[in-house]
């Protein structure tokens, strides 16, 4: 358009070049708006595409994670199940071993107690027999001593009675002789008669005392000898009984000690064997558990590394596609801008 001055009024006159310029400007603006709309549509499509890719990648990653978790859980459960089975088998084996050991120990202890009871009963029976024999012998000796003592007492009493009767008889005879002599010598002086009578009486009394004392001493001596012989025999029998009892007791104690030591030796051997077997089984169980756990951890690590590798590959592929699309978009925008500029 051109401007013409009419007085003070300015009038714009359209020209061919101005119309063309306006048309070009409108066309360029339309093309720019179309390009912007097309770019926005492409951005929306790309955003939707990448969103779908992200969703699919997230879903795939979640599926892989769930699968990895499921596999790890299955492996862990299988490992735990196997470990529990091994532990139960080990516990059952240990319990069986312990039961067998306890049964054997109980049998040994019962056998030892049975042997000890038999030995103790035999010892008590032997002691009882020896005691009864000793008591029987002591009773026989005591009865024999009492019988001999009674016999000697009776013989002493008989002899004492005989001596007393002989003394009394002699005394009577002497008395009668004295009386007779006294009657015959009645005419003698009374002093002479009394003197003779006194002498005879003293002689008679002295003889009676001497004879009675000898008999009594003989009886007492015999009784003392018999009593000492009985006491001596009783002491010998008691010592022999005590000696035999001590020998039997020492033999019983020696046998009991040997049995106790054998029981303790056998019990110690069985205990050490049980402890050794238990330790071996526990070490074998621990070794098996460690192997299973290491295998489970190795499998879990392999699965996790495979999952991470796959995830990284998917991420790298997605990033590569995104970069390619970005370059394509930049190239397209550049070509569109250059085409618009040419137009």
Could you report the per-residue pLDDT of 291-332, keeping only the tens digit for each? 888 888 888 888 888 888 888 888 888 888 888 888 888 888
Burial (CB < 10 A; 0-12, 13-18, 19+), residue 15, is exposed
Give the pLDDT band (50/70/90) at residue 145. confident
Higher pLDDT, 203 or 28: 28
232 in helix, strand or coil? helix
Alpha-carbon distance of 92 to 98, in angstroms, equals 10
Determine the 3-state secondary structure of 191 from DSSP: helix
Query: Is the CB of residue 147 less than 8 Å from the CB of residue 239?
Result: no
Return the pLDDT at 88.
78
* Section 22-42 average pLDDT: 84
* Non-local CB neighbours of 83 within 8 Å, separated by 6+ positions: 289, 292, 293
Mean pLDDT, the chain, whole residue set: 78
Q: What is the pLDDT of residue 341?
A: 67
Write down the pLDDT at residue 10. Answer: 47
Residue 249 has pLDDT above 50, yes or no: yes
pTM above 0.75, yes or no: no
């Amino acid at each position: 358009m051109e401007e013409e001055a009419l007085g003070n009024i300015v009038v714009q006159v359209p020209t061919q070049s101005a119309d063309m310029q306006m048309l070009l400007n409108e066309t360029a603006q339309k093309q720019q708006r179309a390009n912007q709309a097309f770019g926005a549509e492409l951005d929306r499509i790309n955003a939707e595409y990448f969103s779908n890719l992200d969703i699919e990648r997230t879903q795939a990653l979640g599926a892989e994670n769930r699968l990895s978790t499921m596999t790890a859980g299955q492996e862990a459960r299988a490992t735990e199940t196997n470990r529990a089975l091994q532990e139960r088998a080990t516990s059952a084996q240990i319990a069986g071993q312990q039961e067998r050991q306890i049964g054997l120990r109980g049998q040994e202890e019962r056998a030892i107690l049975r042997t000890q009871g038999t030995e103790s009963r035999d010892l008590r029976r032997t002691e009882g027999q020896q005691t009864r024999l000793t008591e029987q012998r002591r009773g026989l000796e005591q009865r024999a001593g009492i019988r001999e003592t009674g016999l000697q007492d009776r013989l002493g009493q008989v002899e004492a009675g005989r001596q007393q009767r002989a003394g009394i008889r002699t005394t009577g005879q002497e008395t009668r002789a004295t009386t007779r002599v006294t009657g015959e010598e009645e005419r003698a002086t009374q002093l002479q008669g009394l003197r003779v009578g006194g002498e005879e009486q003293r002689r008679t009394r002295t003889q009676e005392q001497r004879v009675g004392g000898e008999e009594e001493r003989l009886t007492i001596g015999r009784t003392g000898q018999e009593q000492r012989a009985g006491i001596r025999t009783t002491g010998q029998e008691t010592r022999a009984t005590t000696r035999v009892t001590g020998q039997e007791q020492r033999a019983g104690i020696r046998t009991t000690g040997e049995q106790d030591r054998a029981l303790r030796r056998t019990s110690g051997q069985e205990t050490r064997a049980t402890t050794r077997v238990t330790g071996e089984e526990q070490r074998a169980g621990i070794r098996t558990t460690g192997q299973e756990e290491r295998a489970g951890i190795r499998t879990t690590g392999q699965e996790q590394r495979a999952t991470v590798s796959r995830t990284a590959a998917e991420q790298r592929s997605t990033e590569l596609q995104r970069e390619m699309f970005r370059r394509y978009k930049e190239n397209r925008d550049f070509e569109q801008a250059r085409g618009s500029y040419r137009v």
